[in-house]
Structure 1
Amino acid sequence: MKKTFLFLFLIISQVAVMGQTVNYTASTSVIANPERGLQKYSISGTNYATTVGANNLPVATLNSWKNSTDKVTVVYRYYLLDAFMNSNINSTFLNNMQTDFNNIRSAGFKVIVRFAYSNSEGTVAQQPTKAQILTHISQLSSLLTNNKDVIFSLQAGFIGTWGEWYYTNSNEFGTDGAISAIQWGNRKEIIDAMLAMTPIEIPIQVRYVGIKQTMYGTTQLTPATAYQQNANARIGFYNDAFLNNYGDMGTFSADECTNPVGTPDYNYLSNETNYLPMTGETNGLNTCDNGYRTKGDNAIYEMGLTNWTTLNRDYHPDFWNQINASQYDKILKNLGYRFVLNSSTVQSNGSNFNLTLNITNVGNARPFKQRDVYLIMKNTATNSVTTRLLNTDIRTWENSISITQNFNPGITGVFQLYLWMPDKESLLSSNSDYSIQFANNGTWESATGYNNLLQTVNLNTLGMQDFSFKNNLSIYPNPASDFIKIQLNSSEKEEIQIYDSVGQLVKIATISNNDKIDVSKFTSGIYFIRLKNNPSLSLKFVKL
């Protein structure tokens, strides 16, 4: 009897009654959300510079990672430029990179990019001259800009073995930690060039705390100074020796067995990664204190302290082999953000309504890239969609989040409510693989990327806002793949104009009520329809 009562209670608590509070059930599943989680490793091969199509990342492989129990959505791509120590990067290499980016986009992934000239220690120079590196960065600029939508971050490689800025065998850059002021200046020229020649949407990551502090000072980021266009706000970290000796092999200033937790370097990195991505890998077991730092529970603890977003699943096996199933599950779920929708409340006043959302971020970190949060209102009779922007910055969603906002959409009808958190880039916004899913049961719509609030609102009177436009035009189906139908509450013909997401006019048509518009040849993305006689207002539809 108790089990039956509980079952009925859970059903009733999620029935969408207008004006009620809905409580949601948290999910225990691993979720394939964008820009977070375990990352997979890949490297360009020896014939990448000589053979078109060689060693590209196959879409099938990427899909297999995403559909695995790990739900991977981020790949680390290591581009070896050893063939170009004394020459410019050739077109074959650049074309192969573009194929990689195309495949990454097709599979719904993001990519961490690093360039290096050596992946094994040696006695010769581990990189070209500074002048040649700067030329390579200039060559890569347009490729990175054109594919900024799928680039998670660009790591400051180019210098040293593995691109980690330590073993260089170079008089220009210094080596093995012995670096003069002039050599630091040469290194800074490389970072400055990367910052100048990559879009501001792409964070730059450096290997050691000392790199950022030496070049750009020790002033820490604050909510007021984060997310700006300067170097301090754009430079994050990757740690390829997480939890190991010597302060994670130089990530922090520490002796072999000094635990860096709580040191100034550690606290500095912990603060910066509130606003910037923290990624990397383990590289073996810590030999101090019976390996305490690399044990599972401490690993999880430190991932939280330093806001880890992604971690390499393919290295180091000694670390992964000593993690138990429960610890592994926590790592999978807690890397990056994990948003749980606790409750929503709708209070309607005829023409407008208040929406209150209570959300918890139970993950290690906040999203580090900007994205908008939309309220989707779907008319239950016509399936036409109205979209409204929430006044919130998802990059501030930490711990408990409460949002209350009034909506006066200027339309009538009964509407099902959803939350939509698409990618900011227009090429990805309509792809649900790049939309954020709440960690809740029974709310996710994979086809649209919407999170169903299980709420309806009845708007039975019109406010003044948008009256003439909204009352005269509606669109359905939305999203659409082949056609949209335009519904007018008028017998007169209207001229409409359709614009793409960058404001280019793509179609003009004169329509009557319930006319269909063929959109089958439109590129997938967001479009806006305007009435010629009222161009200041528009309705949005999504082409699948």
Structure 2
Amino acid sequence: MIKALTAATAAVAILIPGAAVAATGPATRARAYTASAEEIANPGRGFFTYSETHLYAGGDGYLPLIKDDLVAARTGEARTLVFRIFYLERYRGTDTIAAADLNLIRADFATARAAGVKMVVRFAYTATDDADAPVARVLKHIGQLGPILAANADVITAVQAGLIGRWGEWYYTQNFARAEDRRKVLNALLAATPASVPVQVRTPGYKRTLAPSNARVGIHNDCFLAGDDDYGTYTGDDRDWLARQGAATLVGGETCDVSARSGWPTARAEMAAYHWTYLNPSFNTDVLGSWGDEGLAEAARDLGYRIRLTSAVLPATTRPSVRVTAKLTLINEGYAAPYANRPVRLTLTAAGSARQTVTVPADLRTWAPGRPVTLTVSFTAPRQAGAYRLALALPDPSARLASTPAYAIRLANTGLWDAATGANALNATLTVTR
């Protein structure tokens, strides 16, 4: 009877959050973490800030991005994405984009960087008719815009293929009747941008025809939930095909008209099934209004990824330079996996300047929604005695952004986020004693 009671007591001790786990060698501690229902301003996902600007033939129309507005949207409304459409009306009949106009475009990327946001970018020639530019001219323009895109790849969530037809949506067009010409534009954009930048096309059909095996090519659906086929977005088995794509395939867009399908139950089901990462919150207002406050709040929380830490078994005490192991379990509660990988780091920080960083093997692009992920990492404890606070950091992969908290991932937990460092405290300490 005594033996049975002792075993039961030990089992309970292991399961209580914060209780030390008895073991030979370094002691460990198990912890559980509380979920947050808060909308989180994580980079590259969610409702975006819409913006457009024009390079009219008369030289007017360019409205630059405003840093303070973008910061206010990010900090006040959790909008970390800016959709930016650049209309190139002035260049439908001209091969060379003026240096001054390229500098205007370049300055907008600098503004986005300073504001701590990322961009979804599209170029187009018209918002009013089908008068786009000839194929050869479009390719020359891509060649001139490419260096700007490449230099700012770290603040670009996606480049939409654009450039063809009214609004750059590849439909009403004077110059692109042939699929081969559309392929030239898509291939030129893929070549002009780094491999880290997704390029989105307007429909699944375009990807299936032009780049079926290219994981970089995503979809932007700009008539989400309209009619039976999203106004021509889907044909045949496109829906089934899209649902089978990886959870890191970048999908986003906007609604455009009320239909029998545009209510919240269908919206939620399809955003989850097709792994939506971003959405326009300002169009169509009739569709979005029909979702109600609860639907809009859920969409704002769950678009893209939403990574929550559920539990951890962490080293608690050890001798200097001894091998220890940390195990963390997380779950993605969003609609999509992160579209890009980034570092996962366990940090140990003691009083003064003592600090150690441990790289945790992981690929965030495989963190599909609803499936727990357990990360295990073994490392050598610090040589210097002390009490080391443990934290989990998921910084931006770009060296230019890695130290900027606005570009780090915040876990969907209460009481963990450190806005000053961009790391998530694990509320645990590793004590190293001699």
TM over 0.5, shorter chain: yes
Which residue number corresponds to residue 202 of structure 1?
Answer: 197
| Amino acid across the alignment from 1:297 | P
Shift of 1:19: 2.4
Shift of 1:67: 2.3
| Amino acid across the alignment from 2:97 | I
Superposition pairs of residues 430-469 of structure 1, within 5 angstroms: 430-460=403-433
Superposition pairs of residues 134-213 of structure 1, within 5 angstroms: 134-170=139-175, 173-174=176-177, 183-213=178-208
Which residue number corresponds to residue 242 of structure 1?
Answer: 224
CA contact (8 A) 2:331 2:372 kept: yes
Alpha-carbon separation, structure 1, partners of 2:402 and 2:171 = 39
Shift of 1:185: 1.1
Q: Which has the larger radius of gyration?
A: 1
| Amino acid across the alignment from 1:117 | Y
CA contact (8 A) 1:433 1:449 kept: yes
1:402 and 2:360 are equivalent in the alignment:
no
Say what the alpha-carbon RMSD is for the aligned residues. Answer: 2.0
Structure 1 ranges of 4+ moved more than 3 A: 12-18, 45-51, 347-350
CA contact (8 A) 2:55 2:88 kept: no
Superposition pairs of residues 66-465 of structure 1, within 5 angstroms: 66-68=74-76, 70-87=77-94, 88-120=96-128, 122=129, 125-170=130-175, 173-174=176-177, 183-217=178-212, 232-253=214-235, 264-286=237-259, 291=260, 293-347=261-315, 350=319, 351-379=322-350, 381-398=351-368, 399-413=371-385, 414-460=387-433
CA contact (8 A) 1:22 1:345 kept: yes
Shift of 1:273: 4.9
Q: How many residues align?
A: 407
* Cα displacement string for residues 266-309 of structure 1 (whole angstroms, at most 9, x for unaligned residues): 122223352321110000111xxxx1x21112211111000000
Alpha-carbon separation, structure 1, partners of 2:58 and 2:18 = 56
Aligned-partner SS, 1:20: strand
Which residue number corresponds to residue 4 of structure 2?
Answer: none
Shift of 1:248: 1.0
Residue segments in structure 1 that go unaligned for 5+ positions in a row: 1-11, 175-182, 220-231, 255-263, 462-544
CA contact (8 A) 2:306 2:333 kept: yes
Which residue number corresponds to residue 467 of structure 1?
Answer: none
Aligned-partner SS, 2:54: coil
CA contact (8 A) 1:354 1:404 kept: yes
CA contact (8 A) 1:412 1:458 kept: no
Alpha-carbon separation, structure 2, partners of 1:342 and 1:417 = 16
Residue segments in structure 2 that go unaligned for 5+ positions in a row: 1-15, 22-26
CA contact (8 A) 1:14 1:24 kept: no
Alpha-carbon separation, structure 1, partners of 2:55 and 2:179 = 31
Alpha-carbon separation, structure 2, partners of 1:47 and 1:253 = 36
Shift of 1:201: 0.9
Alpha-carbon separation, structure 2, partners of 1:80 and 1:319 = 26
Aligned pair in 2 of structure 1 residues 90, 303: CA closer, same or farther (>3 Å)? same
Question: Larger relative CO (CA 8 A, sep 6+): 1 or 2?
Answer: 2
Aligned-partner SS, 1:102: helix
CA contact (8 A) 2:54 2:89 kept: no
Alpha-carbon separation, structure 2, partners of 1:441 and 1:49 = 53
Which residue number corresponds to residue 38 of structure 1?
Answer: 47
Alpha-carbon separation, structure 2, partners of 1:59 and 1:295 = 35
Alpha-carbon separation, structure 2, partners of 1:238 and 1:54 = 25
Alpha-carbon separation, structure 2, partners of 1:49 and 1:370 = 43
TM-score under structure 1 length normalisation: 0.72
Alpha-carbon separation, structure 2, partners of 1:191 and 1:104 = 25
Alpha-carbon separation, structure 2, partners of 1:331 and 1:216 = 29
Shift of 1:410: 4.9
Alpha-carbon separation, structure 2, partners of 1:162 and 1:205 = 14
Shift of 1:406: 1.1
Shift of 1:384: 2.3
CA contact (8 A) 1:371 1:394 kept: yes
Q: Percent identity, aligned pairs only?
A: 34
TM-score under structure 2 length normalisation: 0.89
* Cα displacement string for residues 355-376 of structure 1 (whole angstroms, at most 9, x for unaligned residues): 1111111100010112010010
Shift of 1:409: 4.3
Aligned-partner SS, 1:240: strand
